[in-house]
A and B are shown apart, each in its own frame.
Chain A
Amino acid sequence: MPKVLVVAETKNGELKKPTLELLSLAKSMNLQAESVLIGKEVSSQADLLAGYGSGKVYVADDAGLEIYNTSKYTTLVADAVGQSGATQVWLTSSETGRDLTPRVAARMGVGALSDVTELEIDGDNITATRPCMATKLVQQCRFTKDGLRVISIRAGAYEAEEASPQTADTVSLSIPEGDARVEVRDIQVEESNEIELNEASIVVSVGRGTGGTEGCDFVKPLAGEMGAAFGASRAVCDAGWMPHKHQVGQTGTVVSPDFYFAFGISGAIQHLAGMSGSKVIVAINKDAEAPIFKVADYGIVGDLFKAVPVFQEEVAKIKN
């Protein structure tokens, strides 16, 4: 019988949506699932994991786990795998997941499939579909050897069902020392209560067409008014107009919201690779030849500085 161990992720002590997507997926496939929950002051989330169908929840709750740490997390996940007897480990393809997936796999002496968008499971046979070549192609892969399957799954590839907390069956993991050669000192966060890019159902993004920080700030309120996460192209982040955490694209956050609004984004290949999974794409650009229009469902050829105020008016009308 396959058994899945889901590596849960939290932010500010709360479970992130992609984790819930993984548990919902396991449930929809009738797979037995357990989870491992790592962080600082995260224990309270175990019940929600249970509500989403997790059997045992392996918990490592420690002040020293506040910031992600490859070595400690790898040891903890490996420990949970050992205790649970899981045959599969599922992670999300967040920055944490991308770092942890290969390390956990190698620790367990097996391979991994990363950034999967479609998973088919038939007993121990797994076929995974994943984008490659900057999303120009998709590839279908499978594991060829026996042993543990380590898989990371793209946020938004599957839906999270609604569920309410239940009393969890928790197991405490012992907190490892961590690798003395690495010192995770600090995390530089721009405090905000903004919506996470890979969890939002609407993303409003800005590109070089904004012309600078002021231009970006001009568009930003619209994101707030639409209940959208605020994204940016690499050009904008590299120029320092917006912090890097806003970067959408293959090097930033890969997003697949229901609606993606691109203001003044030309559509470089790595940007397209990071957002072309969106259900509906709306592009606003002065340059009628901008490549973004090739993928846009609705393309507005025009000046974003004139378009944004009209957007704001129209959004206000819809809200009323």
Chain B
Amino acid sequence: MTERMWNNHEMRSSYDVVIIGGGAHGLATAYYLAKNHGITNIAVIEQKFIGYGGSGRNTAILRSNYRTEEGILFYDQSLKLYEDLAQELDYNLMFSQQGHFTLGHSTASMQALTTRAAYNRALGVNSTILDPPEIKKMLPEIDISNHPRYPIMGALYHPPGGIIRHDAVVWSYARGADQRGVHIHQLTEVQDILVENGEVRGVKTNRGTIHCKQVVSCVAGWSSEICKMVGIKLPLVTHPLQALVTTDYKPWLHHVVVSSTLHIYLSQTDRGELVCGNGIDHYPHYGMRSTLGFLESYAAHLLELFPILHNVTVQRQWAGLCDMTPDYSPIISMVDDVDGFYINCGWGTWGFKGSPASGWNTAQMVAERKTPDMIAAFRHDRYVKNRLVGEKAAASVGN
């Protein structure tokens, strides 16, 4: 075979750690286990191919201007890891920190954005409030008149936010893990998890059983299925999220723009395409189908913000699955009843930006068998203990 970025290996009958899911979170976890903790006898098991899930379908917006202390610190760590990642993995990730606008269209949303800016700055994250003329200076094509249904009243501007090449992140984590001895098994589906006396013993796959003492589930939208195998119920609901990309245009949009009121966000890639998305589809569903309804509402809302875009043509649309939690925060957690089983999920519509910090901390949790402080708030049992992380405002359409 021609040379790949990672190798195909024979599947061993046992590994120290099995990671389920070849998305950015699973691969980052494998990479940091090997790099930070010297644990390399690891298998990443992927049912289809690397990046088949949300990691290959997202719109790659990165930012850290969250609302809660837990969220801000976690995503700030993630963003900082992203800043050095291209060099560390020796791979061009096309990370462009072009700045991120969250538009406010009502007094209530301006208040919320102002609070966020204050929290962000208190924790050292660069965020400011801009008024419409300031917005217009940076986004000359935007309509700040009071004609639209939802006039723009201001924006939260977050300079370190931006976009990255999502496939490159996935591939480079895979290559980095592979180079350190991790085995990546594609087209391998985990069908059951073997537990004896409350301890993990291995996983059953369509290609045979693998013995191991530690299993990490990084399957995002498929998490409920995996957790069922060990008898854990999580308050996750899977929703499809759609996105589209237009044909290429000369560069004109130099920042990421998000409007949660209009349910849209967009950015322009280096190639010139506009990458666009909106809120989740309003019904839980496991299908990854793109719909005309999405296109229609997206077009209407987009033209409200940027009337000059009426001739822009749509090249392709697609959908992915999002594992939504009630508090719009992730679950990164050990499980008391099943020793050696770790859950990493609840990444919803915003989890790609969390991949490095998620991998870093999950790796530490697996290696040390205890929860790092950084992710203490993201335990799975917070829902029964009523300790939710109130991140809804900042996460919903924010991606």
Interface residues of A (CB under 8 A from B): 288, 301
* Secondary structure type dominating chain B contacts: loop
Say yes or no: is B146 at the interface (Cβ < 8 Å to chain A): no
Residues of B within 8 A of A (CB): 1-2
Question: In the complex, what residue of chain B is closest to A288 when comparing beta carbons?
Answer: B2
* Nearest residue, chain A, Cβ from B1: A288
CA distance A198 to B1 in the complex (A): 35
- Identify the closest chain B residue to A289 (Cβ): B2
CB contacts (< 8 Å) of B2 on chain A: these are 288, 301
> Which residues from A are CB-within-8-Å of B1?
288
A103 to B125, CA, bound (A): 73
Query: CA–CA, A288 to B1, complex, Å?
Result: 9
Q: Looking across the interface, which residue of chain A has its beta carbon closest to that of B3?
A: A288
A301 to B2, CA, bound (A): 9
In the complex, what distance in Å separates the CA atom of A301 from the CA atom of B1? 10
**Chain B minimum-CB-distance residue to A287:** B2
Please measure, in the bound complex, the distance between the C-alpha atom of A288 and the C-alpha atom of B2, giving whole angstroms: 7
A-B contact pairs, 3 of them (CB 8 A): A288-B1, A288-B2, A301-B2
Min Cβ gap A300→B in Å is: 13
Give Cα A288 to B4, complex, Å.
Answer: 11
How far, in Å, is B8 (CB) from chain A's closest CB? Answer: 14
Which 3 residue pairs of A and B lie closest in terms of their CB atoms, listed nearest first? A288-B2, A301-B2, A288-B1
Q: How far is the CA of A301 from the CA of B3 in the complex (A)?
A: 13
B-side contacts of A301, CB under 8 Å: 2
- A62–B206 CA distance with the chains assembled, in angstroms: 67
What's the least CB distance linking A1 to chain B, in Å?
Answer: 52
Closest-CB distance, B394 to chain A (whole angstroms)? 41
Residue of A with least CB distance to B2: A288
Nearest CB of A to B311, in Å: 25
> How far apart are A299's CB and chain B's nearest CB, in angstroms?
12
Chain B residues whose C-beta falls within 8 Å of the C-beta of A288 in the assembled complex: 1-2
What is the minimal beta-carbon distance from B1 to any residue of chain A, in angstroms? 8
CB distance from B5 to the nearest CB of A (A): 13
Roughly how many angstroms separate A288 CA and B3 CA in the complex, as a whole number? 10
Complex CA distance for A175 and B222, rounded to whole angstroms: 70
Please give the distance in Å from B264's CB to the nearest CB on chain A.
Answer: 33
A247 shortest CB reach to chain B, Å: 26
Q: How far is the CA of A239 from the CA of B2 in the complex (A)?
A: 31
Q: CA separation between A6 and B265, bound complex, in Å? A: 62
A301 to chain B, nearest CB (A): 7
Complex: A33 Cα to B1 Cα, angstroms: 54
Q: How far is the CA of A216 from the CA of B29 in the complex (A)?
A: 50
Q: Bound complex: CA of A221 vs CA of B290, how far in Å?
A: 47
A11 to chain B minimum Cβ distance, whole angstroms, is 43
A234 to chain B, nearest CB (A): 20
Q: How far does the alpha carbon of A1 sit from the alpha carbon of B199 in the complex, in Å?
A: 76
A96 shortest CB reach to chain B, Å? 38
A208 to B144, CA, bound (A): 48
Minimum CB–CB distance from B170 to chain A (whole Å) comes to 17
Please give the distance in Å from A137's CB to the nearest CB on chain B. Answer: 21
Quote the shortest CB–CB distance from B87 to chain A (angstroms).
Answer: 29
Closest Cβ of chain B to A284, distance in Å, is 15
Shortest distance between the CB of B99 and any CB in chain A (Å): 37
CB distance from A101 to the nearest CB of B (A): 35
CA distance A311 to B319 in the complex (A): 46
